[in-house]
Structure 1
Amino acid sequence: MSINCLIIDDEQAAIDILRSYIKSIPSLNLVATSIDPLEALDIVNTQKIDLVFIDIQMPELSGISFIKLVKGRCKFILTTAYKQYAIEGFDNNAIDYLIKPIAFERFLQALQKVQIPHSASNIIQESNTGNQVNTDNFIFVKTDNRIQRINLSEILFIEGLGNYVTIHTEKGKFVTLLNVKDLEESLPSEGFARVHRSYIISLSKIEFIEGNQVYLDKDLNIPLGDTYKNQLWAILDGKTITGKKPPF
């Protein structure tokens, strides 16, 4: 048994991301995608749709209005760039609320709230633990006029400035309209750590820590904020051979 899915979004790039995620889960069946909510309404009315991924802000018909029209015939996961609609979405029985850009790990967490066949549950769990499915090793972010794929293994550090972040990678820099906290929540905690109110680092890229600086190489150092010192030590403690706390 598989779950029949529908994607509704007025941005084709956002549809493409969700399509790739859905196709990586064998027990999910993507029936259709649509940039037109009125067309999508006809699909729901004429085909068997179990789960809909729907953007909230769309011309002609909003995602919330769409949910109300369908009247419980299928389940909904909301996708949007704006957090302020979350409460209204849950008030209308949405299963979950995904903030764009959507990381694969966060997508899997949303699926775990759906009653899905046992085989699909296995795939999700294996993906989270890294045993078999490796498609959670990247994220997508919106930068300029494109949706950019960024491999997590290539991220050096992330620098925040107000409502923007710059993701520094081995291949270059990418600026996107996000804040550091939003991006921190989308990254796997076992691979990244916040070391300053404006910085997140890749743990695998740390060369050494000296004083209030984390060095990713001898010429690239990131400030270590007092608020985050104990948190970083707790993360590194299991990999630190000395029994004494490091002098930072």
Structure 2
Amino acid sequence: MHSCCQFWCTPNFHFWCIVSYRLQHAIDLLKEHITHVHFLKLVGTATNPIEGLAMIADLKPGLIFLDVQMPNLTGIEILKLIGNDCRVIMTTAYKEYALEGFEHAVVDYLLKPIPFLRFLKAVNRLWTIQNNIRPVNEQDHYVFVKTEQKGKLLKIDSRRITYIEGQGNYATIHMNDRRKITAYLKLKELAEHLSSKGFVRIHKSFIISLSHLTAVEGNMVRIVDEAQSIAIGEAYRKEFFEMINTKLLSVPPNNPTD
């Protein structure tokens, strides 16, 4: 058996979720986790992945909570069928499927039995992603980069890039699912291409996504889910802080209590 649920995070923010079909206690555990998160709401279940696909097509979900091993269709096969139309958090007892799942840009990969704190981290990551992404045209979401493998181009959803680190003629692209993609590109080329997509260069070696920027602390910035801060290079500080000041909210000096 597997179940489906819909999440509500903000107005008009819809999520369908498919979870484990075989073990009832795994389903019950996820149901219990959902009850403890204020922006999640369980609205229904399906016992067959084909029926689940029909529900997904009908409801046009924002998220699928997807098991890997299911009858008739595997979770990986469902990922290929639904494409990039919705977010996916995968759940399974088999960690060997994680790499293939991340190749389909899943939000997270949870191993059963799923502890509540790990579950909470996954759904909070989704909350952060959703609330920081500004709508853009569909064709603007994706970029293609040359990889270390000769002749291979990789398609990347630019909304999921948190920051980029330059290393000579190569760049390491950090994704919000913890993947690191090495691309044969100079940081200058990336900065020019991504500036219109909400990215800014803050150091000779770093470009950051403003959507994933969580704080500015002196001459350092913090990126969501990253333990280490990134320094703002001296040559980039003036332009960066001028941009930040355009978004700064402050109380007018003559109206301190308004």
Q: TM-score under structure 1 normalisation?
A: 0.44
